[in-house]
């Protein structure tokens, strides 16, 4: 069944799909090959956000999608416009974020001729997109655009790219918008296998030391309420991945926080002592497992994920279960009986006491202490976007996330420069929330031109910039693995970040002493302006805990 057909340009047909999909915002950067789409976009009520570089359009769409639960959309031209998108697309792919990307392309008669600003963006992005298209026939454009939104947002979410040659965008199209999408080779499994569900219920009933490991799949399927019901019904402690922060409220007595390379000590020890590990929407990536041969040595492992390719990829699995986490947990809850696991919870209490999360006190401004105060002052209810570096880990460990979709970061690819555009996308998606960007001077300088975008959009972002005038996470790696040979990590030409903010018309503040932290944070929280706080810290500050290469999760390095 199709909607009514009429003759219009391919570009207009794309806009019809965007409107039908409820798209309100498009992040992009124009250029010659994509102008037909921009010309039609201007005739719609869809708002366009002009970024300063195409990579940031994908990051902004990612931040928008992760905090709104909708599909993000971005637009760029051919050649360098398209290749600038690549890191953003890879970041979205690694974190399973639904984004639809439209790129302009040279006219079809010139494809393959090395024309000006021609590049094979579909070939380049095959490994980092869930699917991509080069549209050669305008009559296929409505169907392809509709399919792109369907593929991006269903099953395991991910980025989908549509490359549209300029003549295709300008050609007349009579094809109607399809009402539904039917793809013969794409049928995600949502419901769990009944036999495997019963087997999981039996494992949970038999386990004496069960542990739930929640990842981004919980948030993608909106399963956080079912996760809380399951954990509380069975009295099972919960650890999370970096992507899964916010999937389980950290003020719940069963919450142990993040696990892995820089995971909380009690979370890592609990994982090594559990006898049943239930992974929900996780990848068991290398930053979580540490040495694979030492991972969860006493546990049977149940792995639940909507992507069957993830199950058994990195760790041995005793019970696989393919499906949507929300669907599976709804089906599982009636199959399990309430439990108490008293001795196990007593052991968890001992682990908390034996291995507290600690850091050095006194003297200089401690970034860990700053993050704790920010968590208290916002009651864990702000949206926290981060860049990548030491600050990302301090934000993960010390803020205290209590709400789903409140943590936005490049978790899988680890893309520096992600934070500011993603925070802008989050602020556009959630006007009801205060959005904080936690960043470092290295990451911030990779995308700080987006201050202009944030000011144009009137976004009251709060930026907490930890300035140690160095790439301190790299310094930390050189400290432990390269005999303290500190190379290529110092910045000697940083700008005055406070004055930089003021140049954009934002408020700039600075923290150099611990007693300034609370009043400066309060001042930023109390205004409705974009505010940048430069917090000066020592380049010698480390991120602890840290699991050395080749070690197990219970062999962490802790602060002296």
Q: Which residues are catalytic?
A: 54, 116-117, 166, 473
Rounded alpha-carbon distances, angstroms, from residue 512 to 129, 364, 370: 44, 8, 12
The CA-atom distances, in angstroms, between 100 and each of 60, 121, 144, 205, 524 are 12, 14, 11, 43, 34
Q: Would you call 307 helix, strand, or coil by DSSP?
A: coil
CA atoms within 13 A on the CB side of 467: 21
Scan for tokens 């970061």, then name that residue.
409
Closest alpha carbon to 439 in 490, 388, 474: 388
Distance set, CA 133 to CA 89, 121, 136, 178 (Å): 14, 10, 9, 17
Could you tell me which residues are beta bridge partners of residue 320?
303
Write out 39-77 in H/E/C secondary structure: HHHCCCCCEEEECCCHHHHHHHHHHHHHHHCCCEEEEEC
User: 223-250 as b/e, with b when 16 or more CB fall inside 10 Å?
Assistant: bbebbbebbeebbbbbbbbbbbbbbbbb
Nearest CA to 243 out of 283, 290, 300 is that of 283
Q: What is the DSSP letter of 178?
A: B
CA distances from residue 473 to 12, 392, 539, 549 in whole angstroms, order as listed: 47, 10, 9, 15
Alpha-carbon distances of 152 from 147, 192, 266, 380, rounded to whole Å: 8, 22, 37, 30
List all residues 6 or more positions away from 11 whose beta carbon is below 8 Å from its beta carbon: 36, 37, 39, 40, 169, 170
Alpha carbon 415 to chain centroid distance? Answer: 10
Q: Where do the DSSP E strands lie in 170-286?
A: 172-173, 210-214, 238-240, 255-258, 276-280
Token pair of 27, please? 């992040």
Q: For the chain, what is the radius of gyration of the CA atoms?
A: 24
DSSP for 416-483, please give it: TT-HHHHHHHHHHH-TTS-EEEEEEHHHHHHHGGGHHHHHHTT---EEEEEE-SB-HHHHHHHHHHST
């Amino acid at each position: 069944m199709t909607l009514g057909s009429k003759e219009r340009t391919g570009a207009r047909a794309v806009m019809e799909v965007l409107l039908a999909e409820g798209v309100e915002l498009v992040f992009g950067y124009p250029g010659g090959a994509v102008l037909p789409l921009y010309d039609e976009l201007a005739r719609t009520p869809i708002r366009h956000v002009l970024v300063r570089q195409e990579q940031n359009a994908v990051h902004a769409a990612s931040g928008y999608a992760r905090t709104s639960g909708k599909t993000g959309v971005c637009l760029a031209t051919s050649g360098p416009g398209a290749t600038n998108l690549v890191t953003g697309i890879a970041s979205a792919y690694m974190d399973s974020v639904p984004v639809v990307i439209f790129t302009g392309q040279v006219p079809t008669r010139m494809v393959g001729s090395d024309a000006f600003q021609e590049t094979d963006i579909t070939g380049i992005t095959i490994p980092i997109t869930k699917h991509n298209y080069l549209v050669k026939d305008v009559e296929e454009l409505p169907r392809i655009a509709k399919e792109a939104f369907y593929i991006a947002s269903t099953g395991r979410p991910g980025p989908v790219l549509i490359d549209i040659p300029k003549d295709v965008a300008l050609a007349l199209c009579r094809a109607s918008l399809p009402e539904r999408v039917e793809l013969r080779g794409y049928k995600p499994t949502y419901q769990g296998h009944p036999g495997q569900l019963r087997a999981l219920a039996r494992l949970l009933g038999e386990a004496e030391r069960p542990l739930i490991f929640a990842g981004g799949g919980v948030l993608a399927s909106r399963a956080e309420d079912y996760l809380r019901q399951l954990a509380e019904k069975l009295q099972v402690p919960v650890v999370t991945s970096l992507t899964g922060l916010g999937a389980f409220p950290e003020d719940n007595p069963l919450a142990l926080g993040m696990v892995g390379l820089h995971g909380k000590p009690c979370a890592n020890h609990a994982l090594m002592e559990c006898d049943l590990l239930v992974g929900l929407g996780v990848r068991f990536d290398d930053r979580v497992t540490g040495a694979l041969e030492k991972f969860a040595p006493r546990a049977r492992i149940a792995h639940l994920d909507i992507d069957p390719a993830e199950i058994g990829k990195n760790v041995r699995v005793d019970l696989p279960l393919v499906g949507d986490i929300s669907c599976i947990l709804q089906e599982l809850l009636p199959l399990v009986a309430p439990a108490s696991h008293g001795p196990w919870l007593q052991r968890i209490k001992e682990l908390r006491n034996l291995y507290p999360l600690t850091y050095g006190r006194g003297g200089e401004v401690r970034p860990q202490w700053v993050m704790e105060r920010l968590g208290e002052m916002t009651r864990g209810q702000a949206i926290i976007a981060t860049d990548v570096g030491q600050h990302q880990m301090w934000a993960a460990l010390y803020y205290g996330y209590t709400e789903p979709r409140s943590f936005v970061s490049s978790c899988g690819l680890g893309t520096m420069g992600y934070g500011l555009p993603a925070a802008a996308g989050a602020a556009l998606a959630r006007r009801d929330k205060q959005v904080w960007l936690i960043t470092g001077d290295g990451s911030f300088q990779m995308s700080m031109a987006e201050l202009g975008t944030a000011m144009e959009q009137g976004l009251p972002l709060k930026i907490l910039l930890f300035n140690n005038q160095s790439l301190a996470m790299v310094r930390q790696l050189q400290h432990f693995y390269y005999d303290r040979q500190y190379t290529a990590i110092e910045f000697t030409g940083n700008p005055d970040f406070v004055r930089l903010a003021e140049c954009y018309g934002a408020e700039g503040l600075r923290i150099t002493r611990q007693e300034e932290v609370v009043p400066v944070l309060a001042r930023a929280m109390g205004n409705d302006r974009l505010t940048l706080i430069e917090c000066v810290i020592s380049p010698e500050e480390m991120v602890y805990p840290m699991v050395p290469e080749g070690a197990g999760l219970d062999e962490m390095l802790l602060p002296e």
